[in-house]
Structure 1
Amino acid sequence: MAGEEINEDYPVEIHEYLSAFENFIGAVDKMLKTMMLFLEISELLQKVDPLEQAKVNLVSAYTLNSMFWVYLTTQGVNTKEHPVKQQLKRIRVYVNRVKEITENKKVGKVDRCAASRFVKKMPLGTKA
């Protein structure tokens, strides 16, 4: 679209937005092609732990559903009541679950044996 003549099929005001959208889609397409050149998805998933596998699968599902939602919107379909909206909400729930699991992994674990030894050795009335 850049450098092209403005099409009369849509208002002139949205030409800049359409150009940016086209550039964005081109960038996404380029990234996906590059990623597929390095590794097939099955090879990628075999090399990572289950939590990372879940993240890859969720990103893929969310991306595909989002693109379908954009397609429906551009076709004039009412996406507020379309099943794809429920699907996107469902995927977001799983994304939040994975985020919780990731955050819980970062929290330090308490060594109960060491803690009990520490408490036993502390004299009464002192603060740690």
Structure 2
Amino acid sequence: MASEEINCFYPVEIQKYLSAFKNPLGAVAKILKTKISVPRNELLQKLDPLEQAKVNLVSIYILNLMFCVYLAIPGVNPMGHPVKQELERMRVYVNRVKEITDKKKAGKLDKSATSRFVKKNALWEPKPKNAANVANKRKS
């Protein structure tokens, strides 16, 4: 019945686009219902600080994007609105979190093992010039 209502109000050309939009929208609604069913405090308590920051950033970013859509519906240009500055600010924070995540994933250097390797195996050190003279004097 809902599809019949859509057919009455919208041109046939956009019917497949509306149908394609309906499926992901239903999936988002399902995910939101499961997320909303768990209190936010309980959800955040189970996460480490970096994961908490990610959840908060995603929440704020999505809220701002939804506000952009809300502005665009009546024809207001969201790029001329202060919400654009807020989205840029959120991008900066997302990049900071990404840097932190990348640093955690990066390999760590074992300084003691490196120094042992370099001292014992890798570097050749020339003998001092006077050491060669001392060795020659001992032979004679």
Shorter-normalised TM range: 0.7 to 0.9
Which ranges in structure 2 are unaligned for 5 or more consecutive residues? 125-140
Give a deviation string over 1:14-71, Cα, whole Å, max 9, x none. 444344444433322221111222x221111111111100000011011111111111
Question: Residues 79 and 12 from structure 1, CA distance in 2 versus in 1: closer, same or farther, beyond 3 angstroms?
Answer: farther
Correspondence for 1:104? 103
Question: Residues 70 and 17 from structure 1, CA distance in 2 versus in 1: closer, same or farther, beyond 3 angstroms?
Answer: farther
CA distance in 1 between counterparts of 2:54 and 2:105 reads 16
What is the Cα deviation at residue 112 of structure 1?
Answer: 1.1
- Give the partner amino acid of 2:76: V
Q: Percent identical across equivalent pairs?
A: 63
1:6 partner SS: helix
Question: Residues 94 and 5 from structure 1, CA distance in 2 versus in 1: closer, same or farther, beyond 3 angstroms?
Answer: closer
Root-mean-square deviation (CA, aligned residues, Å) is: 2.1
Correspondence for 1:17? 17
Which ranges in structure 1 are unaligned for 5 or more consecutive residues? none
Correspondence for 2:7? 6
**Length-normalised TM-score, structure 1:** 0.81
Question: Residues 26 and 124 from structure 1, CA distance in 2 versus in 1: closer, same or farther, beyond 3 angstroms?
Answer: closer
Correspondence for 1:76? 75
CA distance in 2 between counterparts of 1:26 and 1:14 reads 18
Count of matched residue positions in the alignment of Structure 1 and Structure 2: 123
What is the Cα deviation at residue 3 of structure 1?
Answer: 3.6
Deviates more, 1:79-88 or 1:24-33: 24-33
1:95 maps onto 2:90 in alignment: no
> Greater Rg, structure 1 or structure 2?
2
CA distance in 2 between counterparts of 1:18 and 1:43 reads 36
